[in-house]
A and B are shown apart, each in its own frame.
Chain A
Amino acid sequence: MDCRQARQLFDAYLDGELSPTLATELGAHRVHCAACRRELALLEVSGHIIASDRDEAVVEDDFTDRLLACMPAPKRHWLWQARRRMYMAVPLAAAAVVALGFFGVFRGSSSEFRIAGMKVEADRELVDSLVEPPKVVAEPAAPDPDAAQVRELDEVFRRMRESLSAKKQAGESVQHFFDLSILQLLSIVDSVEPADDDQAEGNADEDAVPENAYDDGPADDGEIEDL
């Protein structure tokens, strides 16, 4: 091995990547060549100084605390988010059940009909109570600004009861009848003008959910510990 070949192996030797055979060859050359011995010694000593110098700058003791104080709140775990969504879903589901129940009662004229695509058994007593309403003692009516619309609704209900009674006696299906009745009632409700537009809009704004309302949970650090 000559000096040129030996120098080509210096890096591999210093990186610890030289095979035992080549390391022996290099060692043999080093013993006999003062120039290569000196050059390798310079490389080794500089590496040794860099590796073993004990003077080291150290970070301040309170670095960790200051760093943690700068960090934003950790992201919520997906289980926490799922639980939060579930809490939000419960009142919505309850509202949906109440709404379906209302339509169920209103449309409960047949022993079996559909609500939102689901088959539902109707209570025959509810149908009968609608056909034969309980007798109510008439009271002097208070002055009502919407008296005309109330009378109109009363008239619709009266006609519905008469028609339903006739169909029931004749043994006919009442499904189509209720569909038409609901449409008629909705058209009346839609025709009613809101009493105060500004107030209605104001209420709508108050109920509006901000787009990012569910992005950040409450600042309750203890929650995540439970998961």
Chain B
Amino acid sequence: MTIPTGKLTHEQERKLVSRAQRGDKAATRDLIHLHKDRLFAFIYRMVHNHHDSEEICQDAFLKAFASLDSFKSEYRFSTWLFTIGYRVCLNRLRRKHELTGGDDALPMQEAVAPADEESELGSEEAAQLRQVVWSAVDKLSAPQRATVLLFYRHEMGCHEIAQVLELPVATVKSHLHRARGRLKDVLTEMDVHEFSFDRNRIADVG
């Protein structure tokens, strides 16, 4: 069965998960195919290492399918998968923290090929601004970074993020508030006010 790359409705997803629960290999393959890119992108932004990200992503999928019987159909599969992925990710970061003796600095982002030519068209100022923002994101604590990524890049609401991070909604909002404050401070410190934040310039950044 070929699944369209677009988002599934909750009902379509429920049927697909139900088939996977019965041992249907095609449904399992479709679920992996549908979610692997988003999960990998999220994990990569958390750990900044391709090999580690792939291992965490694989581990998350294996854990998810091993306990698929316990999945509750009222939730979205993606939410559940991201919950497992985040937990595995957090364990990996904690282990790394213990091994490095508390040096939590993330490695520099590996070179990622631009998705298309459009991203190369931004001005030098826009590229510099983008670098400053992502550098600030990387300096956030793991829960704050995860909150920001899930909110902005994965378009999750605070309630869904709370499920993924297994935190109260109020805590998620607090993380988001602190992360925004940190980003604003970094941008201010970097004298980014020299940039003009008109809408056209912002569009170039994207």
Q: Report if A and B associate in a common complex.
A: yes
Query: 1/0 per residue B125-165: CB within 8 Å of A?
Result: 00001100110110000000000110011010010000000
Residue contact A15 to B176, C-beta cutoff 8 Å:
yes
* B19 CB to nearest chain A CB (Å): 11
Q: For the complex, what is the distance from the CA of A59 to the CA of B202, rounded to whole Å?
A: 28
A208 interface hit (Cβ, 8 Å): no
Residues A51 and B184 in contact in the complex (CB < 8 Å), given A15-B158, A41-B197, A46-B136:
no
Query: 1/0 per residue A66-78: CB within 8 Å of B?
Result: 1110111011110
Query: 1/0 per residue A133-158: CB within 8 Å of B?
Result: 00000000000000000000000000
B32 interface hit (Cβ, 8 Å): yes
Q: For the complex, what is the distance from the CA of A67 to the CA of B38, rounded to whole Å?
A: 16
Q: Which of B22, B37, B184 contacts A46 (CB 8 A)?
A: B184
Residues A54 and B118 in contact in the complex (CB < 8 Å), given A11-B180, A68-B28:
yes
Residue contact B110 to A57, C-beta cutoff 8 Å:
yes
Residue contact B115 to A50, C-beta cutoff 8 Å:
no
Q: Which of A38, A59, A68 contacts B40 (CB 8 A)?
A: A59
A224 interface hit (Cβ, 8 Å): yes
B83 interface hit (Cβ, 8 Å): no
A192 interface hit (Cβ, 8 Å): no
Size category of the binding interface on chain A: 35 or more
Q: For the complex, what is the distance from the CA of A118 to the CA of B83, rounded to whole Å?
A: 59
* Chain B residue contacts of A60, Cβ below 8 A: 54
Residue contact A49 to B119, C-beta cutoff 8 Å:
no
Instruction: Please give me the 8 A-B residue pairs with the lowest Cβ-Cβ distance, nearest first.
Output: A74-B23, A52-B206, A59-B40, A51-B152, A50-B152, A57-B44, A46-B183, A54-B115
Q: Which residues of B contact A (CB under 8 A)?
A: 22-25, 28-29, 32-33, 36-37, 40-41, 44, 50, 53-54, 57-58, 61-62, 65-66, 69, 110, 112-116, 118-119, 129-130, 133-134, 136-137, 148-149, 152-153, 155, 158, 173, 176-177, 180, 183-184, 187-188, 192-193, 197, 202, 205-206
Query: What are 29 A-B contacts with C-beta separation under 8 Å?
Result: A10-B180, A39-B184, A43-B184, A45-B133, A45-B187, A45-B202, A45-B205, A46-B180, A48-B206, A49-B133, A50-B133, A50-B134, A50-B153, A51-B152, A53-B130, A54-B119, A55-B114, A56-B112, A56-B115, A57-B40, A57-B50, A58-B40, A60-B54, A63-B54, A68-B29, A71-B65, A74-B23, A74-B25, A75-B23
